[in-house]
Every structure is written in C-alpha cells, then in structure tokens.
Amino acid sequence: MSKELSYLDTEGYTVFTSEFHRKRGRCCQSSCLHCPYGHTIKKFGLGFKMITQNDEDLVSQILVQKNMNIAWKDFLPDNALFLTLKGITCGIVLKNHIVVKELILKEEFSHQGISKELVEAYLF
C-alpha cells in the first residue's frame, strides 16, 4: 500500500505529507507543516493547548483514527494536552507531572520525527 503524498485541509488547501517531502529528497526550507527533516519543528517549536469538554469530538476523531479506546476522564486538563505545530492540532499528549505517558499523533503527523522525548523537551 502506498502512502498518500498530499491531502486537502479543512479550508480546501492541498497539504503535502512527509512522504512527499521524503521522496523529493531534501528540505526546501519553506517550513512545510509535514517537513520530515526537522526544519519546521526547529523554526516554530511544538505548542500545547488544554483539552476541554468542547473538544470531545476532536479527541474522539484522533482516537478513532488510531483505533484506540481511552476513557474521557484520561483527557482531563491535568492529564492531557493537544500537541500543536504551527497552530495545527497534530495529536494528544497524555502526561503526568514529569513524563509523557503516551503520545497519540494524527496519522498525517506520525512520520516526521515527533517523539515522546521531543515532546518532553518542549513540555518540561
């Protein structure tokens, strides 16, 4: 099965995936959302946003995409945050006060080097 090279975002724009950028073979230095070479993360860093009751649909969407069944109580503000890159939600971080327990990335963000260790470096 071949990986997708692009997709349409919620505003209808074409977004190139990390697979597209990898096939090109080099970083273009344009801060592409799915840059697999680390340029975008280095330039913009990772962000975090609290998860609220209003976000239940987005949380469910991410969990369904990853075939996960986790109780809503695990997403209380003290336990979980949305992970963002360039203001775009790319996943969920389940944490305690000193360590990331689980990193749940949207599929389109799962091949660009975002790891628990990298998230911990920005979070703690």
Kindly report the CATH number assigned to the domain that includes residue 15: 3.40.630
Structural domain that includes position 17: 6-123
DSSP SS3 for 16: strand
Does residue 25 sit within a domain? yes
Does residue 1 sit within a domain? no
Does residue 83 sit within a domain? yes
Does residue 69 sit within a domain? yes
pLDDT in tens, the chain (124 residues): 357 899 998 899 999 999 999 999 999 999 999 999 999 999 999 999 999 888 888 988 888 888 888 776 667 767 899 999 999 999 999 998 899 999 999 999 999 999 999 999 999 9
Does residue 40 sit within a domain? yes
Does residue 60 sit within a domain? yes
Does residue 20 sit within a domain? yes
Report the number of distinct structural domains present in the chain. 1
Q: What pLDDT was estimated at residue 1?
A: 38
What pTM does this model have? 0.88
